[in-house]
Each structure stands twice: as C-alpha cells, then as structure tokens.
Amino acid sequence: METRAFYEAGYALEDPEQAERMGRWRAIGARSKAAHVRTLLQRAGLRPATIVEIGCGDGSLLAELAALATVDGFELSANAAEQARRRGVARRVEAFDGRRVPAQDDAYDLAVLSHVLEHVPEPRPLLEEAARVAPHVIVEVPLEDNPSARRPAKRVLSREAGHLHAFDRPAVRRLLDGLTVRGELTDPLPYEHHAFFGGPLRGGIKWAVRGAAHRVGVAERLFTVHYAVLATRG
C-alpha cells in the first residue's frame, strides 16, 4: 500500500471500539514521549516558546506539548491532521506531502520528530527539514536492531505498524551528522505501556525484567527501548 494511503486508513477506523482503543494507546505513548521531551529540554537548559511536531498523527503528543509552548503540527494523513485539529490545542495543524514542511526557515524554536523516522523511506531529508525550520530538533525512535525485535513475529508486527527501518543508536547518530548532540536518553517504557497489550501479569513481568536490564545497562542490546536525542544545528 502507498504510504499516504496506509496512514489514511490507519486513522480512519470505522469500528468505534477499535478507534477508542487506539486512542487510549496513543495517549499512553504521548505521555512518555512528552516526558522525554521535557527531560531533554531541562538537561540542556532550553525553554522553547514555539514547537512544531512533524508527523503529529492525531495530536496526542501535541496535546501534551501544548503545556510547554505554542505548538503547530504537520502530518502526512489528512484524516489524522483533522483529528489533531479538532483537539484545539495547536495554533496550526496541516496535512503536508511528507517531504517539504510548509514553514519558513527558523519558524520555530524546536522541531519534534517522535516515532516518525522509522516510518519514512528516506529519513535524512525529513530530518534536514526539521533542522531547517528550527535550530533544535528532538528525534525519538524505537531501537529495533536487537535479538528480541528480530524474531519473525516481532518483525511482522513492526511491518504492520509501518516501520521501514530497524535502528540502533549508531544509525540514529549517523542520521544526525552535522548537528550537535546536546543530550540523549533511553527508556524501557513504563508499566502501563507493557500492560496495555500484555495484561497486568504479563505486562508487569515484562516491565520488571526490562527495567532491571535497563538499570544495569544491557536492555538496549537485548530488547527494544525508545531512544530520544536532542540535537542543535551548527
């Protein structure tokens, strides 16, 4: 399926129960993503007045980021952009072609690409666009180049989610070539994330094991963790 059509379909669920469930899942993800943004900004001593999210989906993360700054969003899917617009948290939400962000150079203080680059056929040009419209960029991706994520069943789930790349940390850092990395973090994800699909018992075990592995520094080599990095142009 063509990329735009894939995401239009994903944000046009007709089953109300399924749509509500996906909304809850995206809200859980948005809370952890926003926490990563706040942590990286605090560590770098940055307080952006304007933030643009490129690939904003249904606006779940925009709603969280609106507590930090004035926010705008751009999204490939017109269905998703309309959902984000209806939240009423952003100054501007528009569908775009997925390549050229319709904004002037340095229109924003911070650009956010959160769980977007793994979905993009050519990530570097979109990252360059983010660095064009803002001097600071936060990128977050799942690190899926690991034994757990390489299992056939996991690869099927990744493809069904639209993932085109399985990154490790060095691959993301290579994409950021030419930008100055100001901070980075990894997260094995909170209990509610693991319990959403796995249930309280299985999710709790997964959360405990991955949290312990993360604390001793081996999680990234074994399991998928989320990696967020703040980089500055120039």
DSSP sequence for 122-183: SHHHHHHHHHHH-SEEEEEEEE--STTTTSHHHHHHHHHTT----B-HHHHHHHTTTEEEEE
> CATH no. for residue 121?
3.40.50.150
Q: What phi and psi values does residue 51 have, to the nearest 5 degrees?
A: -130, 135
Q: Is residue 208 part of a domain?
A: no
Q: Is residue 207 part of a domain?
A: no
SS3 227: strand
Q: Is residue 196 part of a domain?
A: no
Q: Is residue 83 part of a domain?
A: yes
Which residue do the tokens 């002037």 mark?
104
Q: Is residue 24 part of a domain?
A: yes
**Side-chain-facing half-sphere of 78: CA atoms under 13 Å:** 2
Q: Extract the tokens encoding 132.
A: 């064009």
Question: Residue 34: which domain range?
Answer: 3-146+166-189+226-233
What pLDDT sits at residue 180?
Answer: 98
What pLDDT sits at residue 9?
Answer: 82
Q: Is residue 116 part of a domain?
A: yes
Q: Is residue 212 part of a domain?
A: no
Section 141-155 average pLDDT = 94
What's the CA gap between 193 and 210, in Å, rounded?
12
Q: Domain count for the chain, please give it.
A: 1
Q: What is the pLDDT of residues 167-201, one digit of tens each?
A: 999 999 999 999 999 999 999 999 999 999 889 99
Q: Is residue 142 part of a domain?
A: yes
Q: What is the pLDDT of residues 21-33, one digit of tens each?
A: 988 999 999 999 9
